[in-house]
Structure 1
Amino acid sequence: MSLTKILAEIPKLSFAERQEMVRRAIEVEDQDLPAEEKTILDQRLAEFRQNPNSGIPAEQLKDQVLRRLKPQ
């Protein structure tokens, strides 16, 4: 299946299915993550766990990413 077809199917998935897809994608990527990048992510996760209000809601993140990716 091409990337274009996969991306076209994503909106058809339920929220839980999309979460599972993201979790699995992260697991695949995590296997190849260099140690220094994993350290950075672990630090950021620890900081977030200490102050969960420091993050932004997923929907807000999505909006920001889509605005950045939008052709100008």
Structure 2
Amino acid sequence: MQTIKGTISKIKVLKLSNRPLVHFKVDDISCLIARHSFNFLYEAKENNQIVVCGQYNSKNQFVVKKYCVIDSPMLV
């Protein structure tokens, strides 16, 4: 598994379902997240710092397995 740290930009929901598919960019690297995507949409905002772990697919998109939003405000 590879790790990427950077700034989030261009968050976009590609597919709405029970488990939405979300596309976002981390420092010009295209990333996809389906697992925990509702939590990701709640926690992550553009220009937040994030660390993501995962692997690249055949289209050279980074498929996120785990993530941690570093500078998100305290969630109540």
TM-score between the two structures when normalised by the length of structure 2: 0.21
Ranked by relative contact order (alpha carbons within 8 Å, sequence separation 6 or more), the top structure is: 2
Query: If the length of structure 1 is used for normalisation, what is the TM-score?
Result: 0.21
**Going by fraction, where is helix more abundant, 1 or 2?**
1
